[in-house]
Amino acid sequence: METGTEDRRRARFAAIALGAAALIVWAASRMSWVSVVADDDKSGVHHEDIVGASWSTEITALALVLAAACIAGFALRRWGRRIVGILAAIVAAGCAWAPLTVLLEGASAERARSILTSSAAHSKLADPVALSEWAQITDITVHPAGPLIAILGCALALFGGVLLAIRPGGDAPRSTAYERKKLKEERIAEDLEDNPDSGRVLWDALDADLDPTDVEESPESTREQGEKRK
C-alpha cells in the first residue's frame, strides 16, 4: 500500500515537473537569443533582436506539448501516463538540440538572414523590420541566457517524462454499478435512521426502490427507544 501511494505521488510530481518545464520553455522562447547588426543599402544599418520562438520554432511547440502532457499526467490512467511520459521525454530531448547548438557553435549568419528576410517571422521579432535579400550581416551576438533557460526547461521535461514513464503510479479501483448501488442504499438507510421524517430522505429512498418502513433499526436506535419508554 505504501509503495502504491509513493508511486502515485511520484507520478503527480512528474506531471507537475512537466508543467513547470512548459512554463520555463515558454519563457525562454520569448527571450532574445541573438542580436544582429545588418547593413542594408536601401534602409541603412539595422539592429535586430531575434527571440527564441523565431530562432527555434519547435521551442514554442514544445511548450504546448509539455502543457498538454502535464494535464494528461493527471487525467489519464496508468498506461496512458506511461506513454505520455515517453513521448514528452523524446520531444524534450530533440528540442534541446537547437539551443545547445547556439551555445556551443554560435549563431549562424545565414540562419539570421533567413529569419530577418522572411515575412513569416516578422511578427516574432522584437522590432520587426524587413531586410532586403542583399543586406549584409556585419555582426551577430549570442545572448546565452535564453538558450540556457531553454536547455534547463528541456532537462526538467526529460526528467519528468522519464519519471512518469518509469513510475506512472497505480489506478484507483473502479467501482461497479452494483457496488455503487449498495453504497447508495447503505447511505440512504443511515439517513432514514437519523431523519426518518425528512421529506428529502424519504424521496431518496423511494427513488432508490427502498421501502422507508422496511429499514431495519440499528441496536443503538432500539436501545434509545427502550430507554425513552422507561
pLDDT tens, position by position, for the chain (230 residues)? 445 567 678 888 999 999 999 999 999 999 999 988 877 776 677 788 889 988 888 999 999 999 999 999 888 888 888 999 999 999 999 999 999 999 998 888 888 888 877 743 444 444 445 566 667 778 888 999 999 999 999 999 999 999 999 987 765 555 456 556 667 667 777 766 676 666 666 666 666 656 656 654 444 444 444 454 44
Q: Which three cell numbers stand for residue 148?
A: 540556457
The span from the CA of 199 to the CA of 209, in Å, is 15
Residues in the chain: 230
The DSSP secondary structure of the chain, one letter per residue, reads -HHHHHHHHHHHHHHHHHHHHHHHHHHHHTSEEEEEEEEETTTEEEEEEEEHHHH-HHHHHHHHHHHHHHHHHHHS-HHHHHHHHHHHHHHHHHHTHHHHHHHHH---HHHHHHHHH-GGGGGGSSS-----TT-EEEEEEE-THHHHHHHHHHHHHHHHHHHHHH---PPPPPPPHHHHHHHHHHHHHHHHHH-TT-HHHHHHHHHTT--GGGPPPPHHHHHHHHHHH-
The type of residue at 124 is K
Measured CA distances, 31 to 18, 27, 104, 107, 157 (Å): 20, 7, 18, 15, 19
pLDDT at 84: 93
Q: Which CATH number does 2-166 carry?
A: 1.20.140
Domain ranges, ordered by start, for the chain? 2-166, 177-229
Residues 19, 56: contact at Cβ < 8 Å?
no
The type of residue at 44 is G
pTM for the full predicted model: 0.66
Residues 161, 76: contact at Cβ < 8 Å?
no
pLDDT at 29: 92
Q: Which three cell numbers stand for residue 226?
A: 427502550
Q: How many CB atoms lie within 10 A of CB 22?
A: 24
